[in-house]
A and B are shown apart, each in its own frame.
Chain A
Amino acid sequence: MRFLKYVLTITFYVIIFSSCKKNIQSPSKTIFPKTFSEIFNVFWNNMNTNYVYWDIDTTNWNNVYNVYKPAFAKLDINNPNDVQQSVIYFRQMTAGIIDSHYNISFTASSIANKVVFPALDRKLLNPTFHSPFLYTSIDTINYIDENYISGNFISTSNKESIYALSGTIHNNILYFYCNGFALQEAYQSRSANSVQSVLKYFFNTLANLSPRIKGIIIDVRNNSGGNIEDLNFFLGRLIVKPLQFGYTRYKSGNGKLQYTPWINASVLPQTGAKAINIPIIALADNYSISLAEAITMAIHAMPNGTFVGETTWGATGPITNNSIYNDGQFTVGDFLSVYTSSAEFKYIDGKSYEGKGFPPDINVPYNFNLLYNGIDVQLEKAINLIK
């Protein structure tokens, strides 16, 4: 009888242990989807796990699954009309995505010219949104002293052509402009380039700042951003201790809402930097994007910093390779690639400006008629603040 009890007990344990074994599936292991159903599944799952703004984005991604999974199942990857239709579906699915970096580019040959860019689609519906304007075309004539230095550099890292300019205004304001960021790459490039000369002029002027210089204007209008390392490389010359301007956090698991804690986002001073106590003004407009916004926000966080111009684009989340954080940009086989933030960012005031844009201290709206007549009211406002 006693033996029987032990046998029953052991049997009972074995049944329970074996029946509770968990076999947990990965979200998606399809690397090269071959049908639209597979493409949808890989895309949807990657958005679920890689997109960093799910905590504040109002897109109902579960509902997207329920609506578009059957729609994609009806598409035939070998039918050119269905391939075109898929682009419409991707545009509809992501229309409300707040990440203003977010865009989908297609690698399939028949739709390689298509791009889904939700933030741009929304901005084009806004009557106050304006096209990029080449401010330096009039500023170099009407405001910047003649002995300015300008130059170009083709970045190998981000494939952009960087234009930079530095000089003085009225001989008492130090001015710097660039249309994108690959400044450190240009500066360290073994092949001499004219952006190196611009940077050397600007950094030398900062290092030996003359008492006649009453203020500095950093102009990042019509600047599409670029390499993150330029934040420290460039702005780190204007500070002598770390400057916190916000917080970042990253995805920490496969759940939509699994994040690391927030960590401080700071600009770090560079070797040889000197304390700048004169006013520093960031000029930015609605085409100041990504790192241009980070530069603007960091200047705004300086005790002597002011932001003049327009509300920025609203793409504040920095971007790097997916493998660093297991989040952000991803590809869906050889069909499409998604460009999206690697980190969620909020400004030092605790607010997220993703999708909204960072507002200026002094709002000076874009005025094409005045610009057409050679008057840059935004730059004039910055000059007047320093005077």
Chain B
Amino acid sequence: MTLTKVTLIIIFLFVIQIASAQTFLGFDAGVSNNVLNTNITNRASTVINSKSGYLVELLYEHRMSRLFYIKISPNIIQKNYTIKRTDSLSGVFTQYNNTYLQLPFKLGVNYGQQLQIFSEFGCYLGYWLSGNVNGDVPDIFSVTNNNNQQTFSLSSFNQGYSFNIIRDNRFEFGWVANAGLKYKVSTRYTIFINGCYYQSLSDQQKKYMINQVPQYNQTFTFSSGCMYLLKL
């Protein structure tokens, strides 16, 4: 199913249900955990590990019925990951801390009264705002040789990520799904906890070479927040 079809379904449900609308505003914050999905099996003694970060999010929720609603939740999210060397090169790593601005657009469904279960699905657009890269790499000029045993000293780096206009695709889109629990504290206030998964469908790199190995962000978030009912 294409993203276009998903978008059309969401718009259709929005239009037919909008007459009975309730509107919530809210915010939430939490942690993210991202991994870069790519293929590095050709690279010796190398693994990609997930890395934690943060998420802060604003919410706009529009109820179309007692069950269905749409949600727009602009957020700032970190999509971090670490490339680590293993075996004799253990200790060598490069950690990428990437910050994205995202705009998810989701269709949700609620079940329950005061305590509600909810789940949502939709798509999102993202923009890679900034990055930081740090790590330790063997310094080739530091090599020492004792009885034909080469030893390198590690050199540390920690600096802002330099975007490359040919290489880096700063725009991201994908699908998002989440589920959680809501609790109505009062008529107007609701608190919630939320687990969410973002799957990028766009390569983190522009298509700049033949046989390019794509890289996709896969991000879990866990957050909590509250919502305020604007319109009864």
* Interface pick from B25-33, B69-77, B183-191, B202-210: B202-210
* Interface pick from A7-15, A192-200, A201-209, A215-223: A7-15
- Give the residue name and chain of the B residue nearest to A230 (CB): B145
Given A157-B148, A228-B141, A229-B145: A261 touches B133 (CB 8 Å cut-off): yes
Contact between B135 and A260, CB atoms less than 8 A apart? yes
- Give the residue name and chain of the A residue nearest to B197 (CB): A17
* 8 Å CB contact of B139 from A12, A62, A185, A263: A263
Q: Is B232 at the interface (CB under 8 A from chain A)?
A: no
Q: Is A253 at the interface (CB under 8 A from chain B)?
A: yes
Residues of A within 8 A of B213 (CB): 24-27, 254-255
Residues of B within 8 A of A252 (CB): 83, 94
Q: Is A94 at the interface (CB under 8 A from chain B)?
A: no
Contact between A253 and B1, CB atoms less than 8 A apart? no
Q: Is B121 at the interface (CB under 8 A from chain A)?
A: yes
* Interface pick from B15-23, B41-49, B51-59, B98-106: B41-49
- The listed residue with most B CB atoms (<10 A of its CB), out of A61, A257, A267, is A257
Given A5-B67, A231-B141, A250-B137: A324 touches B39 (CB 8 Å cut-off): no
Residues of B within 8 A of A98 (CB): none
CA gap between A323 and B44 in the complex, in Å: 6
Residues of B within 8 A of A254 (CB): 38-40, 42-43, 213
Contact between B1 and A19, CB atoms less than 8 A apart? yes
Shortest Cβ gap from A160 to chain B (Å)? 15
- The listed residue with most B CB atoms (<10 A of its CB), out of A16, A184, A258, A342, is A16
Given A9-B109, A228-B140, A320-B140: A65 touches B210 (CB 8 Å cut-off): yes
Contact between A253 and B175, CB atoms less than 8 A apart? no
- Give the residue name and chain of the A residue nearest to B145 (CB): A229
- The listed residue with most A CB atoms (<10 A of its CB), out of B37, B39, B133, B216, is B39
Contact between A26 and B42, CB atoms less than 8 A apart? yes
Q: Is A56 at the interface (CB under 8 A from chain B)?
A: no
Residues of B within 8 A of A261 (CB): 133, 157, 159, 162
Q: Is A264 at the interface (CB under 8 A from chain B)?
A: yes
CA gap between A228 and B153 in the complex, in Å: 13
Q: Is A318 at the interface (CB under 8 A from chain B)?
A: yes
Contact between B44 and A24, CB atoms less than 8 A apart? no
- Give the residue name and chain of the B residue nearest to A46 (CB): B42
Interface members, chain A 326-363 (any B CB < 8 Å):
326, 342-343
- Give the residue name and chain of the A residue nearest to B121 (CB): A13
- Give the residue name and chain of the A residue nearest to B146 (CB): A188
Interface members, chain A 207-259 (any B CB < 8 Å):
227-229, 231-232, 248, 250, 252-258
- The listed residue with most B CB atoms (<10 A of its CB), out of A12, A255, A260, A323, is A255
Q: Is B196 at the interface (CB under 8 A from chain A)?
A: no
CA gap between A267 and B46 in the complex, in Å: 29
CA gap between A28 and B157 in the complex, in Å: 30
Given A20-B199, A260-B94: A268 touches B211 (CB 8 Å cut-off): no
CA gap between A256 and B207 in the complex, in Å: 11
CA gap between A17 and B216 in the complex, in Å: 15
Shortest Cβ gap from A180 to chain B (Å)? 15
* 8 Å CB contact of A12 from B121, B140, B145, B214: B121
Interface members, chain A 9-53 (any B CB < 8 Å):
9, 12-13, 15-17, 19-20, 22, 24-29, 44-45, 48-49
A sample of 15 more A-B contacts (CB under 8 A), given A27-B213, A257-B208, is A12-B121, A22-B216, A24-B213, A29-B42, A48-B209, A65-B211, A229-B145, A229-B150, A232-B141, A232-B144, A253-B215, A255-B167, A255-B213, A261-B157, A323-B89
Q: Report, nearest first, the 7 A-B pairs whose CB atoms are least far apart.
A: A24-B39, A257-B167, A263-B155, A326-B43, A254-B213, A229-B145, A261-B157
